[in-house]
Structure 1
Amino acid sequence: MRPAFATPGLLLIIVAAFCAAMSFFVISAGTMSVPWFGIKLAAAPDGQGVVIAGYSDLAYFPEPQPRIGARVEAISIPGGAPVPIEALDILPEPDSLSSYAEINAFFARQSLLNALLANPQEKIEIHAIDPLDGTRSVTSAFVEFRPFFALPDGFWVQLLTGIGAVMIAGWVWALRPRKLAPMLFLVSALGMMMSTATSAIYANRALAIDGNLFSILQPINSIGAVTFGVAMIGLLLIYPVQLVRFAWLWLLLPVQAGMMFLIVTQTGFGPSQLYIYIAAATLVILGAIAAQWWQTRHDPAERAALGWLGLSIAVGCLAYTVFGALPILLDLPIGIPQTHVTGVLIVIYAGLALGIARYRLFELGDWAYRILFYTSGAILMLLIDMALIVVLNFDAAPALGLSLALVAFVYLPLRDWVWRRLTARRRLPQHELFSAALDVAFAPSPEESDQRWRALLARLFDPLEIEATAPVTTPVAQDDGLILDLPAVGNSPPLRLTFPHSGRGLFSPADVKLATNLVTLTERAEESRQAYMRGVGEERRRMARDLHDDVGARLLTGLHTADERTRPTLQAALSDIRAIVSGLAGEEAELERVLAEIRHEAARRLEAAGIALDWPLPETEAPPFRLDYRIHKALTSAVREIVSNVIRHSGATELVVTPEQHANRLTLRFADNGAGLPPAALKGETTGYGLRSLRQRIEDLGGSVSIGNGVGTTIVLSLTLTLAANPPEPGVQAAMAALDSPP
């Protein structure tokens, strides 16, 4: 358990101090323990000797320099016997030799050569032969400790790879020091630093270092590689999901101890067993990644973490195996210097840091696949190039051209197809997106607008859940991309989308951008709709005033002079105009007033036909419901149609109307004592009763109509109501009052 004082900041300081100390030690060893004389040596093209590859600007040569490319035959101290120089003397990694006997002989030669170079500020003699005319020459060079600025690029690649890995892993561990996965992550980085730091010292030597020091550094390098592999396998067995019990991880320790024993005691299969272990560990790592991929198939967050984690490990380990281990195991020419191969492993730590720390993880999904495909393409091209040169003996230029052609015409089309299959989402063309936004904004009702908005979101993102949430101002992804919160749009409340793409992915920055554009587009469409509706409202109010001022005034004048037969017709016309004026003005009529008008009109018509009406007045005050024009008109027309049928077809002497109101549901039951309707009329097979249009009119408003025969005919109307909004404007109230005033 971490002590209370061990804060992440303090742990990071400790990690940084350790890296600084290691850097100082490696740089000091790389300068103070490595004799240097200003000449860069390289293996001869035929592999049988050593040639001069270049000169350092920091070195001084008192005599004419041999030309670059001259073969170095031997070195000596002034007056001493020359010591021949062999190609193996500048071998970067001695574990590529075939036996431990050869390695020990290599260390002995390193001690011999180092003895000639052990006196700084002294001269040595370089015995060389010119490659053009075959003349031999002896050139003097001063031996000194290697200057800091003369450290080669391979030294810095290896040092910075190890330091960078520990810094990244230490950062993750400092954030989660009690978790086993970050601990294993840090152990693997320390193993890598053991390999890269030691290799930086001896693999970048000018010619030789002390053989005893070499014999210590080289096993440490191998143990570091084993530690890296064991820790990485352990990490993938428990992260992002636990594949095995924690107790089983102890089985990795015997593997570690066994490999260390074989390395230190120089037993087993030989030096190449390290590279066999690296290749086997890579296969186990890839198998663990495949198992993790299967186990996380139902967990989008862990699958996304694995996508980046697995990509980083696969690319790093495969690249190191292909360019580092396989050429040695298969005795192939090495295209990339051994001192540079370890640099590819830093990819693992950069990717794993993002995967384990989960820092803005949802931004990495698409990039993970892109990097995978491009890296695979580069590796494939190099492998094809290597195969053409080694197997088919192609020249370098034709081999490179053919490999580029194969990658361009075979791999890239296949990569694009896989990319579309893996990462394609439900994207709409721009014109369809614009049309969908207009459909949401111009829906005929708020409910329909909300349904269309949710359906559009489901079509675009395919989330497992869509639910109302707290208000937000702009679309924002949360919980590593598992959640996308959207602001209120039109008639829809703020919504939360979870588990996109049927739970198989996360919301990416592209999804957030798409949602932002969609919200903006829909809001602008809604603003356009509101502006349009304001214009429509103004036109309707103008028409309402015209109806009131012209038609209504004429009907009122006629009502004053009409006889008793004409007066009810004119009053009904005035009532219709009043409803039309109210509808055009966008106002709503009070339910109590509408029912009173319908009851009054029905009573007059039935009285004129000699039919009694039993429609009791409400005993209690009804809630302040209002009816818009559509409901008002439909209800009035429905009651008129029912009354007309009673008068024309029923032969009844009485009509009983029973109103009931429960919550926001209004029910009107009409029952007469007439002859009843014929069966064909009840089924809607005959015309003349208007029952089909009656049913259609009510059902269009979400209501229901029930028709049956009893003593007479029974018809039940049922409608859903809404609570009162704001009352009509004073001007509209005055217009409606004028139409309702008695003659």
Structure 2
Amino acid sequence: MQSLNTRIFIGITVPVLLALLVIGVALSIPRTGIEFVVSDNHLVALVPTSHDAANATGTTGYRAEEVLLFQTGGEHQVDYPADIQFVIEEPDVLETHTEMRTLMHSIGVLTTALEQGTLMMHTESGSYALEANQADITALPLSFWVQICAGLAALIICILVWLPGELSPGKYGFIISGFGYFFALISAGLYSSRELFIDDSLFRTLSLLNTFSTYIFMSGLALLFWNYPRVLLSKRTNTLLALFPLPLISLAAIPVHDHLAITIYLPFSLLLLIPLVGMVCQWRSNADNPKNRAVLRWILFMLVAITIPAILKLYAPIPQSVLLVSVVFIYAGIMIGITRHQMFDIERWSYRLWGWFLGGLSILVVDLLLASAVGLSQEASLVVAMGIVGWLYFPVRQWAWKRFFERKGNYLEEWLTLSVPELLGQRMDSSQPQQSELRLKNALSAVFRPLKLEFNADTPKEGIFGRGSEMVIHGPAGESIKLLHPAEGRHQFKSNDLNIGRMILALDALITDSLSARADGAREERQRIRQDLHDDMGAKLLRLLHRSQPDDKPLVREAINDLRILLHNTRGQGEGLRQTLIRWREEAASRCEDHDVNLNWQQSHSHARLSAGAIMHTGRALREAISNAIRNMSRPDISVCVEQQEGYLILTVSNPFQQSSDTSENKGEGIRNIHQRMEQIQGQATFRTRRDQSNAIWTVQLDIPIEVMPHEAL
């Protein structure tokens, strides 16, 4: 393997030597100083006006004269009628090899006579003796320099790919296609930039080199697309693909068939199909890699925009030199697509680019159909084609863009619609850190749909990494939030996504602050009400207790106890289950004592905690159940059983009841209130009757959700 310095030396030397060789060949092609063009299907010579045509160089004045024929002198004088095909840029546009050989032979005979000084040109205004001038570098036309510069640019790009690191099959394909493009371009540049004259053997050699180089170019693209970004072919198959142009060139060199459509265009179409199929296979195999798909999308557009219209001959009015030079943009596009594709929001605007390209293509196709099938003139067919495309294609394009590709509504409105419901969800538990983290996860997942989202304690730099596959933002507590592969791996993160992520965090902070402010205001209001009730109502109840008759004192004490419980519940704080059960038992015992009822209270539970809402609603439901038991009992016995099962506190109130009393499950305002209170705390109330010996037992069971906690947390 060569060292890097050796590769750099080769990379500089080879393009320089090739450029000098091409310039030397171009200077060997004879020139007369007369430019030959086609006008109104006639061959026209632009003859300098200030000097004789044979000696004129660098003049600025020209007169156009229609050429009638060329005449070779010497022993065998031959007349060659002026044929517009003498100045044809590309000989393989002819239909047969016979026509191409005849053309090259005729031009070769004229060139030999020119170099011998025996060539005459006859025009309508007179005859001219043509002589070959000593060519210099300033006589080479601009089209030649444009093509050689474009070929060298593609060659240098391929050399830059070859210089560093190991070579993969995809890189080999890219380099091979670059060399094929270079030789195809400079060979075409040599014979297409001639005045008219060129040696027939050189013409034939350059034409074969152009065809073979085109095959090499397509073979290299096939290697590239079948092996980049992922290698899809074996080493043996890649070798066969690289050697495939060798048997194809024999079809044109021998040739095996006279029609160029069989020997040149058909093999070229087959070679074009191979890289396109490879592109499709790469697209399918990279369904899980949005970075590779972005590269493929960009390369596909650069390839199709140049090659497909050329094959369909939609660029026929464009000079061949301009068309061939445009291919260099494929190499620049591939290089940009591979190295800096992230700078383009390809997923967003590539569809617009395709729409623009297809719009121009549709105008060309409709124009050709109208001109060939209907027989309209060029001007009329172009006008009608633009009208048809403007009235049909562009409205359909706009509808398809809005229907399938354009974001519905405003983008700000879209992500707000996705994130706000998730941020507002579980707002009752917004004070808990784990709930806040869950809200953010749900909101970010709804907007970006990443394959993975994780919170980390470390705080790396915010930004987009991995060429768009990873985004890191800082959470509200300084932690890092890492999102990987947005849109379930189908897209990449863009710079705008980082701003959206920050806005989601800011919105979450705003919602959290709003909920906290609301909770603080509610606590302050409850505190004010508690103080007013304690100071005013409590004082009046105490005065009423001292002035009441002995029979009325239990009722006043019960009211004072209710007030005490109400003030405790309005604190908005939960408490341990043990303290709550003690208070409930004291209240139940006091009420049963006032009515001469025996209370059998049994409890077994572990350490747990009840929320403030659960304490309030369960306490009042228990009070209603005991009140119902006192009203309907058949004997003065009430049992209360407290136990804990799988995250629920089970409260069961039982009492013997009178068969005639109205205590069915679906009757009574008190029973409906118990149901509603249990629903408020996601609990459940169950009412049933059973037989115990000779008595009917009425049972109320309350299932209350609780939070089990370790003992030290209480």
Normalization by structure 1: what TM-score?
0.75
Counterpart Cα distance in 2 of 1:484 and 1:55:
70
Q: Describe how 1:40-51 pairs up with structure 2 within 5 A.
A: 40-46=35-41, 48-51=42-45
1:233 aligns with 2:222: yes
2:584 is aligned, of 576, 594, 598, to 598
1:205 is aligned, of 145, 170, 194, to 194
Counterpart Cα distance in 2 of 1:484 and 1:427:
25
Aligned partner of 1:24 in structure 2 is: 19
Whichever residue aligns with residue 697 of structure 1, its letter is R
Counterpart Cα distance in 1 of 2:58 and 2:336:
55
Q: Describe how 1:352-391 pairs up with structure 2 within 5 A.
A: 352-353=334-335, 359-360=341-342, 363-391=345-373
Whichever residue aligns with residue 368 of structure 1, its letter is S
**Pairs aligned (count):** 691
Per the alignment, in what secondary structure is the counterpart of residue 668 of structure 2?
coil
After TM superposition, give the deviation of residue 681 of structure 1 in Å.
5.3
After TM superposition, give the deviation of residue 195 of structure 1 in Å.
0.8
Aligned partner of 2:249 in structure 1 is: 260
After TM superposition, give the deviation of residue 225 of structure 1 in Å.
0.7
Residues 638/516 of structure 1: CA separation in 2 closer, same or farther (3 Å cut): same
Q: Describe how 1:146-161 pairs up with structure 2 within 5 A.
A: 146-147=136-137, 152-161=141-150
1:695 is aligned, of 675, 686, 689, to 675
* Greater displacement, 336-345 / 645-654: 645-654
* Greater displacement, 445-454 / 698-707: 445-454
2:46 is aligned, of 37, 52, 57, to 52
- The answer on whether the counterparts of 1:309 and 1:351 sit within 8 Å (CA) in structure 2 is yes
Whichever residue aligns with residue 310 of structure 2, its letter is Y
Residues 486/479 of structure 1: CA separation in 2 closer, same or farther (3 Å cut): same
1:87 aligns with 2:109: no
After superposition, give the CA deviation of every residue in 1:212-256 in whole Å (9 maximum; x if it has no partner). 444433322211111122233344445556666554445435632
* Greater displacement, 481-490 / 569-578: 481-490
* Greater displacement, 67-76 / 713-722: 67-76
After TM superposition, give the deviation of residue 91 of structure 1 in Å.
2.3
Counterpart Cα distance in 2 of 1:76 and 1:269:
30
Normalization by structure 2: what TM-score?
0.78
* Greater displacement, 279-288 / 170-179: 170-179
1:611 is aligned, of 597, 601, 611, to 597
Residues 101/532 of structure 1: CA separation in 2 closer, same or farther (3 Å cut): same
Residues 24/674 of structure 1: CA separation in 2 closer, same or farther (3 Å cut): same
Residues 171/678 of structure 1: CA separation in 2 closer, same or farther (3 Å cut): farther
Aligned partner of 2:706 in structure 1 is: 720
* Greater displacement, 253-262 / 235-244: 235-244
- The answer on whether the counterparts of 2:420 and 2:443 sit within 8 Å (CA) in structure 1 is no
Whichever residue aligns with residue 631 of structure 2, its letter is R
Aligned partner of 2:310 in structure 1 is: 320
Per the alignment, in what secondary structure is the counterpart of residue 64 of structure 2?
coil
Whichever residue aligns with residue 613 of structure 1, its letter is L
- The answer on whether the counterparts of 1:437 and 1:525 sit within 8 Å (CA) in structure 2 is no
Residues 268/53 of structure 1: CA separation in 2 closer, same or farther (3 Å cut): farther
- The answer on whether the counterparts of 2:48 and 2:61 sit within 8 Å (CA) in structure 1 is no
Residues 459/69 of structure 1: CA separation in 2 closer, same or farther (3 Å cut): farther
Counterpart Cα distance in 2 of 1:291 and 1:619:
65
Counterpart Cα distance in 1 of 2:49 and 2:642:
109
RMSD (Å), alpha carbons: 5.0
Counterpart Cα distance in 2 of 1:428 and 1:609:
69
Counterpart Cα distance in 2 of 1:489 and 1:704:
38
Aligned partner of 2:667 in structure 1 is: 686
Residues 543/24 of structure 1: CA separation in 2 closer, same or farther (3 Å cut): farther
* Greater displacement, 428-437 / 96-105: 428-437
Q: Describe how 1:80-159 pairs up with structure 2 within 5 A.
A: 86-100=83-97, 102-104=99-101, 106-107=103-104, 129=123, 135-136=125-126, 143-147=133-137, 152-159=141-148
Residues 254/28 of structure 1: CA separation in 2 closer, same or farther (3 Å cut): closer
Per the alignment, in what secondary structure is the counterpart of residue 715 of structure 1?
strand
Q: Describe how 1:551-562 pairs up with structure 2 within 5 A.
A: 551-555=537-541
After superposition, give the CA deviation of every residue in 1:243-285 in whole Å (9 maximum; x if it has no partner). 6655444543563221133344454445552223223333454
Residues 676/39 of structure 1: CA separation in 2 closer, same or farther (3 Å cut): farther
Residues 316/466 of structure 1: CA separation in 2 closer, same or farther (3 Å cut): same
* Greater displacement, 589-598 / 423-432: 423-432
Q: Describe how 1:635-674 pairs up with structure 2 within 5 A.
A: 635-651=618-634, 653-660=636-643, 665-674=647-656
After TM superposition, give the deviation of residue 335 of structure 1 in Å.
0.6
Q: Describe how 1:470-619 pairs up with structure 2 within 5 A.
A: 470=456, 488=475, 494=481, 496=483, 498=485, 500=487, 520-521=506-507, 523-555=509-541, 564-583=553-572, 587-615=573-601
Counterpart Cα distance in 2 of 1:692 and 1:275:
88
Structure 1 unpaired stretches of 5+: 328-333, 729-743
- The answer on whether the counterparts of 2:48 and 2:56 sit within 8 Å (CA) in structure 1 is no
- The answer on whether the counterparts of 1:426 and 1:460 sit within 8 Å (CA) in structure 2 is no
Residues 264/82 of structure 1: CA separation in 2 closer, same or farther (3 Å cut): closer
1:414 is aligned, of 385, 396, 406, to 396
After superposition, give the CA deviation of every residue in 1:610-655 in whole Å (9 maximum; x if it has no partner). 23334468898x46x4x44322312222222222223222345444
- The answer on whether the counterparts of 2:603 and 2:643 sit within 8 Å (CA) in structure 1 is no
Whichever residue aligns with residue 282 of structure 1, its letter is L
Aligned partner of 1:734 in structure 2 is: none
Structure 2 unpaired stretches of 5+: none
Aligned partner of 1:70 in structure 2 is: 65
2:382 is aligned, of 400, 407, 420, to 400
- The answer on whether the counterparts of 1:316 and 1:345 sit within 8 Å (CA) in structure 2 is yes
Whichever residue aligns with residue 50 of structure 1, its letter is V
Aligned partner of 1:737 in structure 2 is: none
Aligned partner of 1:740 in structure 2 is: none
Counterpart Cα distance in 2 of 1:361 and 1:474:
20
Residues 685/545 of structure 1: CA separation in 2 closer, same or farther (3 Å cut): closer
- The answer on whether the counterparts of 2:418 and 2:446 sit within 8 Å (CA) in structure 1 is no
Per the alignment, in what secondary structure is the counterpart of residue 681 of structure 2?
coil
Whichever residue aligns with residue 680 of structure 2, its letter is D
- The answer on whether the counterparts of 1:652 and 1:672 sit within 8 Å (CA) in structure 2 is no
- The answer on whether the counterparts of 1:440 and 1:449 sit within 8 Å (CA) in structure 2 is no
After TM superposition, give the deviation of residue 440 of structure 1 in Å.
4.4
Per the alignment, in what secondary structure is the counterpart of residue 360 of structure 2?
helix
Per the alignment, in what secondary structure is the counterpart of residue 670 of structure 1?
strand
Per the alignment, in what secondary structure is the counterpart of residue 279 of structure 1?
helix
Between 1 and 2, higher relative CO (CA 8 Å, sep ≥ 6) is seen in 1
After TM superposition, give the deviation of residue 675 of structure 1 in Å.
3.7
Residues 495/617 of structure 1: CA separation in 2 closer, same or farther (3 Å cut): farther
- The answer on whether the counterparts of 2:22 and 2:186 sit within 8 Å (CA) in structure 1 is no
Residues 637/433 of structure 1: CA separation in 2 closer, same or farther (3 Å cut): farther
Whichever residue aligns with residue 71 of structure 1, its letter is E
Counterpart Cα distance in 1 of 2:286 and 2:152:
32
Per the alignment, in what secondary structure is the counterpart of residue 699 of structure 1?
helix
Residues 650/368 of structure 1: CA separation in 2 closer, same or farther (3 Å cut): same
Counterpart Cα distance in 1 of 2:371 and 2:634:
107
Counterpart Cα distance in 2 of 1:413 and 1:184:
41
After TM superposition, give the deviation of residue 605 of structure 1 in Å.
1.3
Counterpart Cα distance in 2 of 1:560 and 1:162:
112
Counterpart Cα distance in 2 of 1:640 and 1:533:
29
- The answer on whether the counterparts of 2:440 and 2:508 sit within 8 Å (CA) in structure 1 is no
